[in-house]
Amino acid sequence: MFNIWDFWADKYDRLWVQKYSLKPTRDHIVIVLSDYKNKFKNNEELKVLDLGCGPGELIRDLGREFVNIDVTGIDFSEKMIEISKKRNPRAKHLIMDVSDLNILDEDYDIIIST
């Protein structure tokens, strides 16, 4: 089956909109998660699921901001996951469709989709 995101993955990762236009959104998510972590998790590990993680820009930002974080990125594009894995080797990555979330056997504190 042809996946348009596999075709566009390398180009999308280099696009201005991906790098800069979406940065304010990623920055806001970091602020919201910081507030959540301070109120509810303190020094506990924060478990985050990033739906449609693409090339992993948000996962990278979360890894830079939080020491005690466990992030799983999901995308149905194998190429996007390859890029994200290179950028975020500590994160877990799954190639799957979000409609299959019921097969996940983990619990998450936060689920994000940007």
| CA pair distance 13, 2, nearest whole angstrom | 19
Instruction: With beta carbons less than 8 A apart as the criterion, state whether 59 and 84 touch.
Output: yes
| Residue 102: predicted pLDDT | 87
User: What domains appear along the chain, each with residue ranges and CATH number?
Assistant: 4-113 (3.40.50.150)
- State the average pLDDT over residues 80-93: 97
| Residue 22: predicted pLDDT | 82
57-71 pLDDT, tens digit per residue, is 999 999 999 988 999
Phi, psi of 73 (to 5 degrees): -105, 135
* Reported pTM: 0.84
| Residue 95: predicted pLDDT | 96
5-59 pLDDT, tens digit per residue, is 887 787 777 766 667 778 899 999 999 998 888 887 777 889 999 999 999 999 9
The letter for the amino acid at 66 is: F
| CA pair distance 65, 28, nearest whole angstrom | 12
